[in-house]
Structure 1
Amino acid sequence: MKTFKSRLIVVLVVVGVTVGLDQWTKYLATVHLQGEPDQFFFNGVLRLTHVHNTGAFLSIGSGLNDFWRPLLLNLFPALLLVALLYYIFKEKFLNGWQVVALALIVGGGLSNIVDRLLYGHVVDMLHLKAFGLQTGIFNVADMAIMGGMFIMLPFALRPAPSPEEERETAG
């Protein structure tokens, strides 16, 4: 994906849909699950619950004091998202899948940062358990971040373009 305009459209759509869907599901979880018993589906594989997570993924950082928590859970991730956006628009060798993947990461991160800034916590509501394994409790933003990382994995494992390939692409 070569042009700034095409990347901008993809980023705006993916980030907008990610943030919108995440915020909507958090709203639904708050309205329908807060204070209610957990809901189980698919023979207990999926559990819907309502949790206020003051930390990051798997509640990491929830025990930090009021100085470090905003710094490490809001400012640092926000700087990473700005760096990702810069990379999306400046790296000429990104293809469409990579732009979508990075935009998913930005959208998920942005939505969780917005929650921490507005409410002091993130709402998590999804929990999976099957075959003796289980996840932590997570939300749609976390799924977007992990989905983006999953999409990027094959690209991260392939060799970097050779100088000849870079010249061919540039020329």
Structure 2
Amino acid sequence: MPEPATIKTTCCYCGVGCGIEIRRDRWGQLTLTGDPDHPANRGQLCSKGRYLLQVALDRDDRLLYPMWRPRREMPLTRTDWDTALDHVAATFRRLIDRYGPDAVGFYVSGQLLTEEYYVATKLVKGFLGTHNIDSNSRLWPATSWHWATTPRRSVTTTSNRASAF
């Protein structure tokens, strides 16, 4: 039987960087909770963070190796990494040559480190020549954190207007 253990780490969903604790009991069962000592979230987790462990362990619909098809109507088939990456690079080259660099864009993780953002930005802006790069750290964390930490307000409707109290 494995030894019980607790690992403190960071949630990977957004740029907030909430602290999580992953515990393994003596039977090897894993549980995930918010880290009560972490300053970013003080033990609280949003809906995505709360279910991170279940999502990470569920492999029912996860690709474990590269897949490709020559045409959309054909079934996916397994391929090797070199072939897959060559195909992606050729597709990017074809799109950029035909429609220009602004025909492509990147949506990157909010958990990239500064150096990783730098490299991604250099690739997108410097090499590909487009400004189409954004990250999920600007999209949902603010609203997710707001709703996770703000007491719920009742909403009443008067005439055609809603008022929040």
Q: Which has the higher strand share?
A: 2
Which structure exhibits the higher relative contact order, with contacts defined as CA atoms closer than 8 Å and separated by 6 or more residues?
1
Higher helix share: 1
Compute the TM-score of the two structures, normalised by the length of structure 1.
0.24
Instruction: Please give the TM-score of this superposition, normalised by the length of structure 2.
Output: 0.24
Report the structure number with the largest CA radius of gyration: 2
